[in-house]
């Protein structure tokens, strides 16, 4: 999934679009920020990644599965959710459609 997300970030960042990764650790070694930084460098993650060691975001979104991606509109509403790999073309179409919507008043 990372290559697709990286591409969306590179292509659309700054055009009413951004990417924010949220890292919720599955294992204790994933709680260490230096390990997350090393992984993002190794994997070529070029977009911001928030650390959610306490699971605040995980619980707020009623998250249960890795990976899950959300597309949020200009007013902050979740307009698309996909659990797991795949549906990349569909996700990009949603991104483009939401970016084309007029800005809220």
Q: What is the pLDDT of residues 21-44, one digit of tens each?
A: 999 999 999 999 999 999 999 999
pTM (two decimals):
0.88
Residue 15 has pLDDT above 90, yes or no: no
In a domain, 105, yes or no: no
Tell me the mean pLDDT in the region 76-91. Answer: 96
In a domain, 41, yes or no: yes
Q: At what angle do helices 2-12 and 88-100 cross, to 10 degrees?
A: 20
- Domain that includes residue 48, residue range: 2-84+92-100
In a domain, 43, yes or no: yes
- Token pair 């949603």 in the structure block, residue: 94
Q: Is 93 helix (H, G, I), strand (E, B) or coil?
A: helix
CATH code, domain with 53: 3.40.30.10
**How many structural domains compose the chain?**
1
In a domain, 11, yes or no: yes
In a domain, 34, yes or no: yes
* DSSP secondary structure letter of residue 42: H
Residue 95 has pLDDT above 90, yes or no: yes
Look over the chain and give the mean of its residue pLDDT values, rounded to a whole number: 95
Tell me the mean pLDDT in the region 44-53. Answer: 96
Asked if 35 contacts 8 with a C-beta cutoff of 8 angstroms, the reply is no
């Amino acid at each position: 999934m990372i290559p697709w997300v990286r591409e969306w970030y590179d292509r659309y960042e700054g055009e009413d679009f951004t990417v924010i990764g949220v890292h919720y650790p599955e294992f204790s070694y994933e709680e260490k920020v230096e390990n997350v930084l090393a992984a993002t460098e190794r994997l070529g993650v070029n977009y911001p990644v928030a650390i959610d060691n306490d699971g605040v975001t995980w619980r707020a979104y009623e998250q249960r599965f890795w990976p899950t991606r959300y597309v949020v509109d200009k007013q902050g509403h979740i307009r698309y959710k996909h659990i797991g790999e795949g549906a990349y073309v569909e996700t990009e179409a949603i991104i483009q459609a939401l970016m084309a919507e007029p800005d809220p008043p």
